[in-house]
Amino acid sequence: TTPQPAYKRILLKLSGEALMGSDAYGINRQTISEIVAEIKEVAELGVEIGVVIGGGNIFRGVAPAATGMDRATADYMGMLATVMNGLALQDAMRMAGLNSRVQSALDIEQVVEPYIRGKAIRYLEQGRIVIFAAGTGNPFFTTDTAAALRGAEIGAQIVLKATKVDGIYTADPKKDPSATRYDKISFDEAIARNLAVMDATAFALCRDQKLPINVFSIFKSGALKRVVLGEAEGTLVYC
Does the annotation place 73 within a ligand binding site? no
Q: Give the integer Cα–Cα distance in Å for 40 and 52.
A: 16
Nearer to ligand UDP by Cβ, of 123 and 141: the residue is 141
CA pseudo-torsion sign 18, 35, 197, 127: positive
Q: Is 56 in the site for ligand UDP (CB under 6 A)?
A: yes
Min dist CB 60 to ligand UDP, Å, is 4
Q: Is 86 in the site for ligand UDP (CB under 6 A)?
A: no
Q: Is 54 in the site for ligand UDP (CB under 6 A)?
A: yes
Size of the site for ligand UDP (CB under 6 A): 25
Nearer to ligand UDP by Cβ, of 5 and 167: the residue is 167
C-alpha separations of 63 from 15, 24, 26, 75, 124 in Å: 16, 15, 16, 10, 35
Does the annotation place 15 within a ligand binding site? yes
Picking from 44, 49, 57, the residue whose alpha carbon sits closest to that of residue 15 is 57
Nearer to ligand UDP by Cβ, of 6 and 165: the residue is 165
Nearer to ligand UDP by Cβ, of 5 and 237: the residue is 237
Nearer to ligand UDP by Cβ, of 142 and 235: the residue is 142
Q: Is 234 in the site for ligand UDP (CB under 6 A)?
A: no
Q: Give the integer Cα–Cα distance in Å for 74 and 82.
A: 13
**Stretches 38-46, 117-125, 144-152, 201-209: which one binds ligand UDP (CB under 6 A)?**
144-152
Does the annotation place 75 within a ligand binding site? yes
Q: Is 17 in the site for ligand UDP (CB under 6 A)?
A: yes
CA pseudo-torsion sign 173, 144, 8, 84: negative
| 149: Cβ contacts below 8 Å, ≥ 6 apart | 136, 205
Min dist CB 68 to ligand UDP, Å, is 15
Q: Give the integer Cα–Cα distance in Å for 227 and 70.
A: 40
Q: Per residue in 12-43, is it b (16+ CB within 10 Å) or e — as a string?
A: bbbbbbbbbbeeeeebbeebbeebbebbbebb
Q: Which residues are annotated as a binding site?
A: 13-16, 55-56, 60, 75, 136-143, 163, 169, 172
Residue ranges in contact with ligand UDP by CB under 6 A: 15-17, 54-56, 60-62, 74-75, 78-79, 81-82, 135-136, 138-139, 141-146
Q: Which residues are annotated as a binding site for UMP?
A: 55, 75, 136-143
